[in-house]
Amino acid sequence: MSFGGRLSVVLGLFVVAAGLAVWAVVGFMLPTTPTVDFTAAQPSGAPVDLTVQTVGTIGFGAHPTWVSYLVKNPNGQWVHSTVWKVPAHTRINLTIEQYDSGSPLRNQQWGLVAGTTGGVATLNGKPIALYDSNSGNGVGHTFSIPTLGISVPLVGITGDDKNPCSQAPCTTNFDHNVIKVSFVTPGPGEYPWQCYVPCGLGFLYGNGGPMSTLGYMGGFLDVTA
């Protein structure tokens, strides 16, 4: 190949590389999910009541068939967001409305409640420290913050339930389980959280799609001073 040909190839590769770099930077800088702020009107030192729901089908947006989380903002409106701004060194009272079905866990470790106040959760009002997914309804998802050692199994509804929710946001008139836990936030920082139960239907081993997408089955606790 002549010098001119080689130069053309190099320049072409450089343009492609530069284009990919620009795409990556722009994609990183653009917000992919809104941040819901629980600090603006929060009295200093008061606990934060945080309510979220998990749904089997979001029903709208770019991926209407995907499983997802939603959060109730301080005004009581459901928002499709997994980035939540909360104050540091504060008790978080987390309520999770679980509308999705479940299945036996591939790793029973994810049935263990960890890192919460007292090391327990309540499932429909009853305390649990470990859920055996092989003998119950199965676990649909987990709420896990690995850097804080927090993990909570979200027990699914049964296949016999007659009134499942098919599109978010779901109301409590539909079949669901209620899981409640409390924990205390650490110092300021961004703490990633995610689901550890493979639930990306149609993706290899269930680990793609919503499992690896911010705004669906993973997000951040934005802890501020």
Predicted pLDDT of residue 28: 38
pLDDT band at 41 (very low <50, low <70, confident <90, very high): confident
* Residue-wise pLDDT tens digits, 44-95: 889 999 999 999 999 999 999 999 999 999 999 999 999 999 999 999 999 9
Number of domains in the chain: 2
- Whether residue 150 is found in the same domain as residue 171: yes
pTM of the model as a whole: 0.84
- Whether residue 40 is found in the same domain as residue 74: yes
Q: Using alpha carbons only, give the angle 169, 109, 101 rounded to the nearest 5 degrees.
A: 30
Nearest CA-CA partner of 49 in 72, 79, 80:
72
Report d(CA 150, CA 51) in Å as an integer.
17
Share of residues in the chain with pLDDT > 90 (%): 73
- Whether residue 53 is found in the same domain as residue 126: yes
- Whether residue 94 is found in the same domain as residue 172: yes
- Whether residue 40 is found in the same domain as residue 147: yes
- Whether residue 41 is found in the same domain as residue 22: no
CATH code, domain carrying 220:
2.60.40.420
Strands (E), the chain: 35-37, 48-55, 68-72, 78-79, 83-87, 91-98, 121-123, 126-128, 139-145, 150-155, 177-184, 189-194, 218-224
- Whether residue 39 is found in the same domain as residue 125: yes
- Whether residue 107 is found in the same domain as residue 143: yes
* Residue-wise pLDDT tens digits, 120-174: 999 999 999 999 998 778 999 999 999 999 999 999 998 788 899 989 999 999 9
Tokens 């945080």 — which residue? 50
